[in-house]
Chain A
């Protein structure tokens, strides 16, 4: 069972939910796919035991074989390889690693070499296993690194994925193929606007979902009304509590110290399981 924790709006508490949910599950695998700004390790404090670089294949041109015919530049959709006055230039940051230039080069003058875009670390935190990716500074493309981080998913286990904020390609790459998506929001106009966008994205991917409302005692009733109208289950509501903010600020795992909230997360797990079995039943009926 793979559960992705996403949000639309940043700073609503994705990482808090992911880390505390994992803490309650005890033997889960945690995958932090927010490779631009990975934070889950700050709270789960895993002991890392492997560190590998992750790369993207980019073209390297053997100038002694290149005739400057320009075929590579024609096939490249990203202008990552261009030929000007019979000279080939490669712009690595633009390359998506599709391999077309090397395939179509009539002289076989192009080979591909891995270019490092980030690192992947894995380790353990108590009974949890932990994997995260860290995108190199100045590197624009997160999705290829996210893909590689997700290759580490152990399908037989309960897997909690911490997603990046937003609704575009890095989030889609993270959330797709998940069995369930938890959207974390806050009851404010910004929270609602971005929740609506996130819901549309998850619907497009065809994944069952539910909502967690953090700081539910501040703000207005817009998010709750929206969920009711759209038939999206509210899986958990957490009050605003200065102690939660303080625990978070110093990197403490909230449920370790604020035990009174363990019940909330217990029901969150129950509610996710109920939604998943409801979804399975619905699928059986369709068949």
Chain B
């Protein structure tokens, strides 16, 4: 079983639209939505939840006021300025437990927080693992890891050939959690100065973890000169450009109809995404 993760660096380049389309074309992959703090894939694939559970990311401190002697040691050791008036601010607390260990009165407890929910669902494209991170919660990297594990378990149970993962934007912890152990990455970029800048950084992260990357240039006709620069960059790095998708407002209409671009006729976009899948599919076979 092979794992493909769709990433981008820059947000809004079309990761989710492309993940949905590839999942539909595959027909038998297990899907994972790892953009857990702004998940959108469910809007296109309309999952029917089969199994769910709470996700506890970590612990945060709470001060038992009846035991607290107000000595102030906890305030002094906390590097996250999370304690004010002997009350812990749950947004600032990083759960390091320094205060818990240092409190001479034993007045501080570390409590598990429920910071999200995971789901395994049936969709018309196949089984999907997804999640919702609690509002303003930490540990999205851990939740990503959990979603991917659920997806891999489902793929093994079903004998699926591949897992297709929609990754988050950026290059930090949830991205690293989304690509670690993946066999192949598809970086979706756009021919803008930001798109190029961010592609270079996310390709750097892929290199850091030694994972091969394919590149898709979305909205490639918005700026043909920059599209050329991306091809040149990919050529220099030995990265294959597997898709060049034109801009078409029909893609937005497909989204409004809750359809992927291979289920709603988006003309050249649909044709180009199909061609791209034909190039990726052989790489996802054992």
Contacts and interface: CB of A to CB of B under 8 A. Distances in A.
A55 B191 CA distance: 33
A10 B194 CA distance: 12
B168 A166 contact: yes
A39 B40 CA distance: 24
Contacts of B16: 190
A240 B201 CA distance: 29
B97 A138 contact: no
Majority secondary structure, B binding face: loop
A16 B11 CA distance: 13
A78 B40 contact: no
The 7 lowest CB-CB distance pairs between A and B, nearest first, are A10-B11, A11-B12, A98-B96, A36-B170, A251-B193, A249-B223, A140-B173
Nearest to A75: B101
A65 interface: no
A100 B97 contact: yes
Specify which of A12, A42, A75, A137 lies most central, judged by the most chain B CB atoms within 10 Å of its CB.
A137
A193 B141 CA distance: 21
A37 B10 contact: yes
A10 B96 contact: no
B40 A103 contact: no
Interface string B121-147: 000000000000101111111000000
B223 A250 contact: yes
Specify which of A98, A170, A245 lies most central, judged by the most chain B CB atoms within 10 Å of its CB.
A98
Interface string A167-199: 111111000100000000000111001100100
A26 B70 CA distance: 47
B98 A11 contact: no
Interface in B23-72: 36-38, 40, 43, 58-59
Interface in A98-145: 98-100, 103-104, 135, 137-142
Contacts of A172: 91, 136
A233 B142 CA distance: 35
Contacts of A164: 169-170
Contacts of A138: 176, 204-205, 208-209
A100 B136 contact: no
11 contacts: A9-B40, A42-B194, A98-B96, A166-B169, A169-B140, A171-B37, A176-B91, A189-B40, A249-B195, A250-B225, A250-B226
A241 interface: no
B102 A103 contact: yes
Contacts of B141: 140
Interface stretch (B151-159, B234-242, B249-257, B277-285): B249-257
B267 interface: no
Given A37-B171, A137-B205, 20 more contacts: A11-B169, A15-B194, A36-B172, A39-B197, A42-B193, A42-B197, A43-B193, A77-B97, A97-B79, A103-B102, A138-B208, A141-B173, A164-B170, A167-B38, A167-B136, A169-B140, A189-B40, A197-B38, A205-B91, A205-B136
B13 interface: yes
Interface of B: 8-13, 16, 36-38, 40, 43, 58-59, 77, 79-80, 91, 94-98, 101-102, 110, 133, 135-141, 168-176, 190-195, 197-198, 201, 204-205, 208-209, 222-223, 225-226, 247, 249, 252, 255-256, 258
Contacts of B255: 188-190
B203 to A, nearest CB: 9
A249 B226 CA distance: 8
